[in-house]
């Protein structure tokens, strides 16, 4: 250091941007997360894995139900076997009665705020408002112990507590039964995750039945009983167990359900069974019920009833669909060695889209998701078309998009269908198998699932129009001010779509592409999925596993993206250029002369130049100073330089003559989220260089940093975030030399098709109508 | 719609539903691509060079089609119906209203729209006073007649006066004034 102390750095170009620094609460973004995350224990380790004493409850169900197609209701009974695998004694059990959300006095209904009646309401809204008579909710008819003796119970909105005669100690199990009935919701009238749709053209119904039986609430090591009321947005979390469900429906109905059909001989025709056999090893979907047969069924009247029996192992819920309108296709697919029957059920109204895309979309989803997480473990995967726009259950999901009546469809409908099937089938992985708690943390399944949905879409076809995943798409939301952090409880999130789906999905995509790279990320993400399949992770388990398996401290990333509402906006503030003073007068004075010559001539100087000068008239007035140029090299200069050189080591002389350019780039973090600084640098000789600086450059100063680049070349231009990979919100401050970036509005305005007069003429026509 | 229009009473509301039974059927089915949340985002940029507000509204196509079909009493597809642009402009003129510092409404003119699969971008422009976004007020009731829970977020850029706070509009909201943060909480880009 001592030998360098005499080196003078000459500032050739300097645009300093001094500004005052104020400490702000988020400035310690690199503070470790440990104080925020729960303390590791024997159930959940500091590495993010299940601990050596990890436990979860197990619940088995034996359910019988009768679907009444005349008045759209369900009469049912269930025997629940509850295995207390926790270390705790339980005095009571909590069950969820999700149908109670549709009671007229439910918390969900009572806490609805008034709609806007100042503008014209829709029929849909008016129908929902005027529907004061629908008798929704679970009617509990009996709760009995294994011996048939009534058990006391209390209903609290969407929850039911059953009081046990004696505490259920650790390791014990208890069996009890519940009988109930309920009226099925008309989904087209009341937005719901399950219910019926009536087709007035043929007088038939499609039933998509979900959240329909009293289900054991989750009991966990981190929250005890999960008894958050069902308000509509926070979906659910449940316990794994085995299900046997006997579904009695009109004998001309086709039923698709979670699990494997146990009595095909009783409910399917010989032809249908044979076609299902053909679907094994088929290279494309095989019709089990053809469109023609489905249309014939629509005109049928049932002769009686049939009972379809399904068995499902290690699932956390059970849903089914039933209708005489169903076309049914199937294709067995080998998912990494697991033979899965992919099946779709849809009415003729779904064609031609459904026969072309549904089952194929299921297969594509199973392939891609299995690659990124774990092999799909279940024997079937089903997609059903009905009134529900998109909702997931184990092995079965409901998807809404249909073509127009004339059989045509827009690209929006087509990609909407493929995307929603990928999304809902993808939910088998998160949260149906990696059992995160959606009533508490929507992002844990919706965010992770939307991320994998994006990867799957991009593997469906080139330039698939994914709505979420690309960093630039999240900028609008992240720069908005009225938002909550991702780590917010499900029902309290204002904008669930951007908050719990798009932002975490984008964050993971950035983590994969920009922060960790695909290799590290994919390994860590797979590790998380495998650690927690058939178990129940909390956010800390995800954060910790991703760090543990990638070997990268990501606390700053989780803090910025999941715990704050800051956005990304890094600006390239200035570029300063330094060279080394060689001390050689022949070099330095020549350079200074050149600079002097390049200085601009002012207007007055130029006009004064031709004026006759007084000293020209009287040359005797000229003296030493009239001819003296301090930039002329003198023998004394050269002598001094020689003296300097004599005092230097060879190494030091080499440094003086290295001809390096020192460029200092200054950056400001305007948005608050620290991100890697990615630079495309172009030099005057045409060479290009990409510089990727990890986000840790911000660790000592979150708001302003500088970076030195030493190069023999001269910089011509710099672009910050050239590949749009960081969700940088303002691209106007990403260039040197500064370059304004056109807004979407300005680009559109330049390229628009119609001129304002055409629009005005059309508008007049519309207004007259 | 002028600003002194009376508030509708319930009878007016019922009269304002001009649909026939047949129209109801396709409206019911037209909500093909469902999304679980109802959200739009709007960017209002003050451009001092052209003395105008440049407005970009990003919304869901199926919401727009539903509302336009109801107003026009016929089926509307944003990418196929010939007068979809004019219908959209007529609707946006009703639900997006700008009020200048002098309390007068500033009418926006139509620039155009483009559809990207399920997202529609609508572009409008309005003359801006020299004070930019200062003391401007906005009302934006987009789709609040369709959905309880519709959230319309409006962000602003004003290169002269700094960045105002976002405005969020939900059902029942009326005019809101654009607010600039106090100097002590000014964002760091304006040292």
Return the pLDDT at A281: 87
* Rounded Cα–Cα distance for residues A68 and A75 (Å): 8
Instruction: Please judge whether B145 and A121 are an interchain contact, meaning their C-beta atoms are less than 8 angstroms apart.
Output: yes
Q: Flag if A415 and B118 touch (Cβ within 8 Å).
A: yes
Q: Which of A:695-734 have CB within 8 Å of B?
A: 703
Q: Would you say residue A74 has pLDDT above 90?
A: yes
Across chain A, mean pLDDT equals 91
Start-to-end CA distance of chain A, whole Å, equals 83
Q: Is the pLDDT of residue A113 over 80?
A: no
B interface mutation test: which of A20, A23, A116, A350 has the most B CBs within 10 A?
A: A116
Q: Is a pLDDT exceeding 80 seen at residue A357?
A: yes
Confidence band of A7 (pLDDT split at 50, 70, 90):
very low
Is the CB of A759 less than 8 angstroms away from the CB of B24? no
* CA-based nearest residue in chain A for residue B185: A24
Contacts of A20 in chain B (CB under 8 A): 191
The domain of B101 spans 46-180
Residue spans of beta strands (DSSP E) within A84-223: 90-96, 139-145, 153-156, 159-168, 173-183, 195-199, 204-209, 215-216, 219-220
Minimum Cα–Cα distance from A390: chain B residue: B34
Chain A residue nearest residue B188, CA to CA: A670
Asked if the model's pLDDT at residue A380 lies above 60, the reply is yes
Asked, for residue B185, whether it belongs to a domain, the answer is: no
Which of B7, B72, B123 is closest, CB to CB, to A118? B7
d(CA A767, CA B7) in angstroms, rounded, equals: 22
CA–CA min distance A481, chain B (Å): 6
Least confident of A1-5, A520-524, B67-71, B146-150: A1-5
Alpha-carbon gap: A159 to the closest alpha carbon of chain B (Å): 24
Where does the pLDDT of residue B8 fall: very low under 50, low under 70, confident under 90, or very high at 90 and above?
A: very low
- The shortest C-alpha distance from A413 to chain B (Å) reads 6
Instruction: State residue A54's pLDDT score.
Output: 98
Pairing of strands A254-257, A320-323: antiparallel
- Whether the Cβ atoms of residue A89 and residue A164 lie closer than 8 Å to each other: no
List the single residue in B39, B56, B172 with the smallest CB-CB distance to A498. Answer: B39
- Report the domain count for chain B: 1
Q: Compare all CA atoms of chain B with the CA of A757 and give the residue at the minimum distance.
A: B110
3-class secondary-structure state, position A591: helix
High-pLDDT (> 90) share of chain B, %? 37
- Residues in A closer than 8 angstroms to B155, CB to CB, are 476, 479-481
pLDDT category at A108 given cuts 50, 70, 90 is confident
Report the chain A residue with the minimal C-alpha distance to residue B66.
A122
Mean pLDDT of B170-178: 88
> CA of B154: which chain A residue's CA is closest?
A480
A200 with B25: Cβ contact below 8 A = yes
Residues of B with Cβ-Cβ distance to A766 under 8 angstroms: 72, 83, 86-87, 90
Residues in chain A closer than 8 A to B37 (CB atoms): 495-497
Which stretch of A36-45, A433-442, A555-564, B137-146 has the lowest confidence by average pLDDT?
A: B137-146
Q: How far is B101 from chain A (nearest CA, A)?
A: 24
Look at residue A93 and tell me whether its pLDDT is greater than 70: yes
Contact A497 B89 (CB under 8 A): no
| Confidence band, pLDDT 50/70/90 cuts, at residue A681 | very high
Binned at pLDDT 50, 70 and 90, residue A583 comes out as confident
Q: Of A737, A732, A730, give the one whose Cα is nearest residue A716.
A: A737
pLDDT: is A460 or A233 the higher one? A460
- What pLDDT shows up at residue A24? 59
Distance from CA of A120 to the nearest CA of B (A): 6
**Assigned domain for B25 exists:** no
Flag if A116 and B35 touch (Cβ within 8 Å): no
pLDDT computed for residue A525 by the predictor: 98
CA distance A581 to A146: 93
Of B28, B116, B123, which is closest to A749 when you measure between CB atoms?
B123
pLDDT score of B5: 36
Given pLDDT bands bounded at 50, 70 and 90, which one contains residue A123?
low
Cα–Cα dist A614/A608, whole Å: 13
% of chain A with per-residue pLDDT over 70:
94
Chain A residue numbers touching B118 (CB-CB < 8 A): 412, 415-416, 467
Confidence at residue B70, expressed as pLDDT on a 0 to 100 scale? 87
**Of A411, A413, A481, which has the smallest distance from its Cβ to B165's Cβ?**
A481
Q: Which of the given ranges, A80-89, A628-637, B25-34, has the highest pLDDT on average?
A: A80-89
Is residue B190 predicted with pLDDT exceeding 50?
no
Question: Has residue A14 got a pLDDT over 50?
Answer: no
Q: Give kind and range of the element (H or E) at residue A334.
A: strand A327-335
Q: Is the model's pLDDT at A558 over the cut of 80?
A: yes
State residue A8's pLDDT score.
Answer: 40
Q: B85 to chain A: which residues are within 8 Å by CB?
A: 754, 759, 762
Note the CATH number of domain A58-435: 2.60.40.1730
Residue A331 has pLDDT above 60, yes or no: yes
Per-residue pLDDT reduced to its tens digit, A388-419: 999 999 999 999 999 989 999 988 899 999 99
A124 pLDDT above the threshold of 90: no
Query: Tens digits of per-residue pLDDT, A227-247?
Result: 888 887 778 899 999 999 999
- Per-residue model confidence (pLDDT) at position A116: 62
Cβ distance A497 to B27 less than 8 Å, yes or no, reads no
Q: Look at residue A122 in the predicted model and tell me its pLDDT.
A: 61
In a domain? residue B159: yes
> What residues of chain B lie within 8 A of the CB of A126, using their CB?
17
The DSSP string of A689-734 is: EEEEE-GGGGSS-SSEEEEEEEESS-EEEEEESTT--S-BS-GGGS
| Enclosing H/E stretch for A327 | strand A327-335
**3-class secondary-structure state, position A92:** strand
The pLDDT value given to residue B180: 85
Q: Write out chain B residues lying below 8 Å of A412, CB-based.
A: 33, 61-62, 79, 115, 117-118
pLDDT band for position A754 (cuts 50, 70, 90) = low
Mean per-residue pLDDT, A609-614: 94
Q: Is the pLDDT of residue A485 over 80?
A: yes
- Measure CB to CB from residue A670 to each of B28, B123, B189 and give the nearest one: B189
pLDDT in tens, A465-484: 998 889 998 998 898 877 89
Instruction: Quote the pLDDT of residue A756.
Output: 66
How much is the pLDDT for B106?
94
To the nearest whole Å, the CA of A184 is away from the closest chain B CA by 19
Q: How confident is the model at residue A22 (pLDDT cuts 50, 70, 90)?
A: low
**Cβ contact (<8 Å) for A119 and B141?**
yes
Contact A763 B55 (CB under 8 A): no
Q: What is the pLDDT of residue B30?
A: 30
Mean pLDDT throughout A138-151?
Answer: 96
- pLDDT class for A119, splitting at 50, 70, 90? low
pLDDT in tens, B106-136: 999 999 999 887 889 999 999 999 899 999 9
Q: Closest Cα of chain B to A109: distance in Å?
A: 12
B58–A477 C-beta distance less than 8 A: no
Is residue B165 domain-resident?
yes
Instruction: Report H helices in A379-441.
Output: 411-426
SS (H, E, C) chain B: CCCCCCCCCHHHHHHCCCCCHHHHHHHHHCCCCCCCCCEEEEEEEEECCCCEEEEEEEEEHHHHHHHHHHHHCCCCCCCCCCCHHHHHHHHHHHHEEEECCCCCEECCEEEEEEEECCEEEEEEEEECCCCCCCCCEEEECCCCCCCCCCEEEEEEECCCCCCCCCEEECCCCCCEECCCCCHHHCCCCCC
Backbone region of residue A407 per phi and psi (left: phi > 0; alpha: psi in -120 to 50; beta: other values):
left
Would residue B127 count as lying in a domain?
A: yes
**B95 → chain A, closest CA residue:** A119
Give the tens place of pLDDT for each residue, B73-118. Answer: 888 988 888 889 999 999 999 999 999 999 899 999 999 999 887 8
C-beta atoms of B155 and A756 within 8 A: no
Cis peptide bond N-terminal to A431, omega within 30? yes
């Amino acid at each position: 250091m001592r030998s360098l102390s005499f080196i003078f750095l000459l500032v050739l170009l300097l645009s300093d941007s001094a500004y005052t620094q104020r400490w702000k609460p988020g400035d310690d973004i690199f503070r470790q997360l440990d104080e925020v995350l729960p303390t590791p224990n024997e159930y959940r380790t500091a590495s993010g894995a299940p601990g050596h004493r990890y436990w979860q409850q197990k619940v088995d169900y034996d359910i019988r139900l009768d679907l009444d197609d005349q008045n759209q209701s369900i009469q049912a009974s269930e025997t629940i076997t509850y295995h207390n695998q926790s270390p705790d004694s339980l005095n009571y059990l909590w069950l969820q009665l999700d149908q109670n959300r549709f009671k007229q006095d439910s918390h969900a209904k009572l806490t609805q705020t008034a709609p806007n009646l100042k503008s014209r309401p829709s029929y849909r809204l008016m129908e929902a408002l005027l529907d004061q008579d629908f008798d929704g909710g679970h009617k509990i008819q009996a709760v009995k112990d294994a011996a048939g003796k009534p058990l006391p119970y209390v209903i609290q909105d969407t929850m039911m507590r059953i009081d046990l005669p004696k505490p259920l100690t650790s390791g014990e199990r208890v069996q009890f039964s519940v009988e109930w009935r309920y009226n099925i919701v008309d989904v087209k009238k009341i937005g719901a995750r399950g219910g019926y749709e009536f087709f007035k053209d043929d007088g038939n119904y499609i039933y998509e039945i979900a959240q329909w039986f009293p289900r054991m609430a989750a009991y966990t090591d981190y929250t005890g009983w999960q008894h958050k009321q069902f308000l509509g947005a926070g979906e659910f979390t449940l316990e794994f167990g085995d299900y046997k469900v006997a579904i009695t429906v009109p004998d001309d109905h086709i039923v698709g359900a979670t699990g494997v059909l146990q009595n095909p001989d009783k409910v399917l025709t010989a032809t249908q069974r044979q076609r299902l056999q053909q679907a094994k090893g088929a290279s494309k979907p095989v019709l089990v019920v053809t469109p023609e047969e489905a249309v014939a069924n629509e005109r049928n009247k049932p002769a009686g009833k049939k009972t379809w029996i399904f068995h499902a192992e290690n699932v956390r819920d059970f849903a089914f669909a039933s209708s005489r309108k169903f076309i049914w296709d199937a294709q067995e697919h080998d998912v990494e060695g697991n033979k899965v029957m992919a099946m779709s059920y849809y009415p003729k109204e779904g064609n031609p889209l459904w026969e072309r895309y549904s089952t194929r979309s299921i297969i594509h989803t199973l392939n891609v998701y299995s690659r990124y997480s774990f092999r799909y473990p279940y024997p079937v995967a089903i997609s059903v078309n009905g009134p529900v726009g998109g909702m997931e259950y184990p092995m079965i999901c409901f998807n809404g998009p249909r073509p127009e009546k004339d059989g045509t469809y827009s690209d929006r409908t087509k990609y909407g269908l493929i995307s929603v099937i990928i999304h809902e089938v993808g939910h088998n992985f998160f949260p149906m198998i990696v059992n995160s708690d959606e009533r508490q943390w929507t992002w844990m399944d919706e965010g992770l699932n939307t991320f994998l949905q994006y990867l799957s879409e991009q593997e469906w076809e080139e330039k698939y129009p994914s709505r979420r995943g690309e960093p630039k798409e999240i900028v609008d939301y992240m720069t908005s001010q009225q938002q909550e952090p991702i780590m917010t409880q499900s029902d309290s999130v204002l904008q669930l779509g951007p908050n719990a789906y798009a932002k975490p999905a984008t964050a993971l995509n950035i983590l994969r592409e920009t922060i960790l790279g695909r290799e590290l990320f994919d390994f860590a993400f797979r590790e998380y999925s495998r650690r927690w399949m058939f178990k129940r992770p909390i956010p800390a388990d995800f954060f910790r596993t991703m760090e543990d398996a990638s070997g990268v401290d990501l606390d700053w990333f989780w803090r910025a993206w999941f715990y704050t509402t800051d956005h990304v906006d890094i600006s390239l503030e200035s570029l300063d250029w330094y060279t080394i003073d060689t001390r050689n007068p022949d070099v330095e004075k020549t350079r200074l002369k050149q600079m002097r010559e390049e200085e601009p001539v002012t207007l007055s100087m130029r006009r004064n130049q031709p004026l006759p000068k007084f000293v020209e008239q009287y040359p005797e007035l000229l003296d030493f100073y009239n001819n003296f140029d301090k930039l002329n090299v003198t023998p004394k200069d050269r002598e001094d330089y020689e003296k300097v050189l004599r005092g230097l080591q060879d190494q030091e002389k080499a440094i003086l003559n290295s001809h390096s350019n020192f460029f200092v780039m200054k950056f400001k973090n305007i948005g608050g989220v620290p991100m890697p600084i990615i630079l495309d640098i172009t030099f005057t000789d045409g060479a290009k260089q990409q510089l990727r600086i990890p986000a840790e450059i911000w660790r000592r100063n979150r708001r302003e940093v500088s970076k030195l680049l030493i190069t023999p070349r001269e910089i011509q231009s710099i672009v910050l975030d050239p590949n749009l990979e960081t969700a940088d919100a303002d691209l106007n401050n990403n260039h040197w030399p500064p370059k304004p970036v056109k807004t979407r509005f300005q680009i559109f305005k330049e390229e628009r098709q119609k001129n304002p007069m055409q629009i005005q003429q059309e508008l007049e026509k519309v207004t007259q109508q | 719609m002028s600003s002194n229009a009376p508030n509708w009473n319930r009878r007016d509301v019922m009269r304002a539903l001009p649909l026939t039974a047949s129209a109801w059927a396709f409206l019911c089915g037209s909500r093909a691509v469902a999304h679980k949340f109802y959200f739009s985002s709007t960017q209002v940029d003050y451009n001092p060079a052209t003395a105008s507000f440049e407005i970009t509204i990003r919304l869901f196509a199926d919401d727009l089609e539903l509302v336009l079909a109801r107003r026009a009493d016929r089926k509307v597809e944003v990418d196929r119906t010939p007068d979809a642009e004019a219908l959209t402009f007529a609707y946006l003129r009703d639900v997006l209203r700008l009020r200048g510092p002098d309390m007068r409404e500033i009418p926006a003119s139509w620039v155009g729209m483009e559809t990207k699969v399920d997202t529609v971008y609508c572009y409008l422009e309005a003359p801006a006073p020299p004070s930019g976004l200062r003391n401007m007020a906005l009302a934006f009731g987009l789709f609040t007649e369709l959905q309880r829970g519709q959230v319309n977020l409006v962000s602003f850029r004003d290169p002269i006066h700094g960045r105002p706070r976002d405005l969020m509009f939900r059902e029942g909201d009326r005019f809101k004034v654009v607010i600039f943060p106090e100097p002590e909480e000014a964002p760091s880009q304006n040292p």
